[in-house]
Amino acid sequence: QKEVEQDPGPLSVPEGAIVSLNCTYSNSAFQYFMWYRQYSRKGPELLMYTYSSGNKEDGRFTAQVDKSSKYISLFIRDSQPSDSATYLCAMVDTGRRALTFGSGTRLQVQP
């Protein structure tokens, strides 16, 4: 079993839709939960991170963590064609600094 599971998609939505991206994990030691966006032929870039269970909002993006269920989500409101990319969840456990990534979900927002 992988430490982090993520549906690879692809996920295709019309412009303006609300997008929900999800990951599950098995390692209880994970403390920080991040979402990265990766455009084609580019390196990942950090969108946002959360530390504890609950919600965190940044513009059109909301990250949600449920540690009891080992489940994290990223919601994108009013999705735009420029949001078309692969979204990677990533996690860090106590004592380490390197990231454990999910496999990524490819999102396509249709104009």
Partner 1 sequence: EAGVAQSPRYKIIEKRQSVAFWCNPISGHATLYWYQQILGQGPKLLIQFQNNGVVDDSQLPKDRFSAERLKGVDSTLKIQPAKLEDSAVYLCASSGMASSGSPDTQYFGPGTRLTVL
- What is the contact surface with partner 1 in residues (CB under 8 A)? 4, 6, 8, 32, 34, 41-46, 49, 51, 88, 90, 92, 96-104
Find the shortest distance in angstroms from Cβ 108 to partner 1: 16
Q: Which is nearer to partner 1, 14 or 97 (CB)?
A: 97
Q: Which is nearer to partner 1, 76 or 92 (CB)?
A: 92
Find the shortest distance in angstroms from Cβ 35 to partner 1: 12
**Residue whose C-alpha is closest to residue 74's, from 111, 48, 41, 95:** 48
**Residue whose C-alpha is closest to residue 44's, from 109, 104, 111:** 104
- Asked if residues 100 and 34 have their Cβ atoms less than 8 Å apart, the reply is no
Query: What's 40's DSSP letter?
Result: T
In the structure, how many helices (H) and strands (E) does the chain have?
0, 11
Find the shortest distance in angstroms from Cβ 102 to partner 1: 5
